[in-house]
Amino acid sequence: MVDLSGKAVVVTGGARGLGAAAAQAVVDGGGRVLITDVLEAEGAETAAKLGHAARFLRHDVTSEADWQAVLDHAVAEFGRLDGLVNNAGIATGQFLEHESVEHFRRCVEVNLVGTFIGLKAAIPLLRANGGGSVVNISSAAGLTGLALTAGYGASKWGVRGLSKIGAVELAEARIRVNSVHPGMTLTPMTAPVGIQAGEGRYPGTPMGRVGVPEEIAAAVAFLLSDAASYMTGAELAVDGGWTAGLTVRHLTGQ
Ligand SMILES: NC(=O)c1ccc[n+]([C@@H]2O[C@H](COP(=O)([O-])OP(=O)(O)OC[C@H]3O[C@@H](n4cnc5c(N)ncnc54)[C@H](O)[C@@H]3O)[C@@H](O)[C@H]2O)c1
């Protein structure tokens, strides 16, 4: 288990899915976590399940005022900020030629602008803390071109690029900024696709299966921890080999 003892972390979109698993990993590692989300009932329930080391605050990541309230709350509750996981996101897709401008803009607004506002707003606190770790959740769709992800994929490529800029600008302040790129993982976001967990149930990826939230959370926890002290600007694919290349199955079409 990764050691996060003493660390205070904000996880956006933490009511469910990957964010809830990341929040769990923070608590399991001995840290404290402020979960934020637009889903109030689910967020409060998730925090309650995690016990006294977890808090919840309603938060729309596209709102600058909400971000300030979140960071103020983190300081009021924990007295410090060591980590930020920009995880909140939305995903639905269309073929490029059918993607509406409104939907494209909304993906960029939540996934990329939301991450930007959070990263920017957290800098003074992380500086005051003597450093920290920001983990931005991009996607396999931020490493390669996936069909049906025009707005989503573009926003996730943006998150990947923003992470690099943060890494180079903030290294002198000992603030590390890395991106995590999950492949297909079983959460409420992907449930409508009809995927199922288990070996051999997802031939689209070299490992032949989808991921589970805990497998993504393990990478997030590692990047939050001091074990990743020399890592910044890295992009960590946690995708069962999806973005590594083509399998024989793909090459032969069988
Ligand atoms: N599940 C996957 O296969 C997968 C793959 C690659 C990347 N991701 C990324 O991982 C992150 C988490 O996804 P998930 O699968 O857990 O999805 P999810 O839908 O289960 O969770 C996303 C959370 O973000 C919250 N959210 C949405 N808009 C928000 C806003 N404006 N402000 C605050 N919170 C908001 C939602 O309410 C939800 O609780 C997303 O950024 C997603 O793009 C997921």
Asked, for residue 47, whether it belongs to a domain, the answer is yes
Asked, for residue 3, whether it belongs to a domain, the answer is no
For residues 71 and 122, the answer to whether their CB atoms sit within 8 Å is: yes
| Ligand 1 close to Cβ of residue 212 (< 6 A) | no
Tokens of 98: 């059918």
* Rounded average pLDDT over 188-200: 92
Q: What total of structural domains would you count in the chain?
A: 1
* Block residue for tokens 């995708």: 239
Asked, for residue 117, whether it belongs to a domain, the answer is yes
CA gap 157, 230 in Å, rounded: 23
Asked, for residue 2, whether it belongs to a domain, the answer is no
How far does residue 172's CA lie from ligand 1's centre (Å)?
A: 31
For residues 240 and 207, the answer to whether their CB atoms sit within 8 Å is: yes
Mutation pick for ligand 1 pocket among 11, 40, 90, 212 (CB with most ligand atoms within 8 Å): 90
pLDDT of residue 53: 98
| Ligand 1 close to Cβ of residue 16 (< 6 A) | yes
DSSP letters, 106-121, are HHIIIIIIHHHHHHHH
pLDDT tens digits, one per residue of 95-134: 999 999 999 999 999 999 999 999 999 999 999 999 999 9
pLDDT tens digits, one per residue of 67-103: 999 999 999 999 999 999 999 999 978 899 999 999 9
| Ligand 1 close to Cβ of residue 139 (< 6 A) | yes
Asked, for residue 1, whether it belongs to a domain, the answer is no
Tokens of 234: 């890295």
> Alpha-carbon dihedral of residues 73, 77, 83, 87, nearest 10 degrees?
-50
pLDDT of residue 21: 98
CA gap 228, 113 in Å, rounded: 26
Q: Which domain holds residue 74?
A: 8-252
Asked, for residue 190, whether it belongs to a domain, the answer is yes
Residue with CA at minimum distance from ligand 1 atom 40 = 89
CATH code of the domain covering residue 78: 3.40.50.720
30-69: string of b/e by CB count within 10 Å (b at 16+)? Answer: ebbbbbbbbbeebbbebbeebeebbbbbebebbeeebbee
Q: Coil, helix or strand for 208?
A: coil
Residue with CA at minimum distance from ligand 1 atom 41 = 89
Q: Which residues have CB under 8 Å from 172's CB, separation 6+?
A: none
| Ligand 1 close to Cβ of residue 185 (< 6 A) | yes
Entry field: residues in the chain: 254
Instruction: State pTM to two decimals.
Output: 0.98
| Ligand 1 close to Cβ of residue 216 (< 6 A) | no
Q: Which residues are catalytic?
A: 152
Asked, for residue 240, whether it belongs to a domain, the answer is yes
For residues 121 and 65, the answer to whether their CB atoms sit within 8 Å is: no
Asked, for residue 77, whether it belongs to a domain, the answer is yes
**What are the counts of helices (DSSP H) followed by strands (DSSP E) for the chain?**
8, 7
pLDDT at residue 1 is higher than 80: no
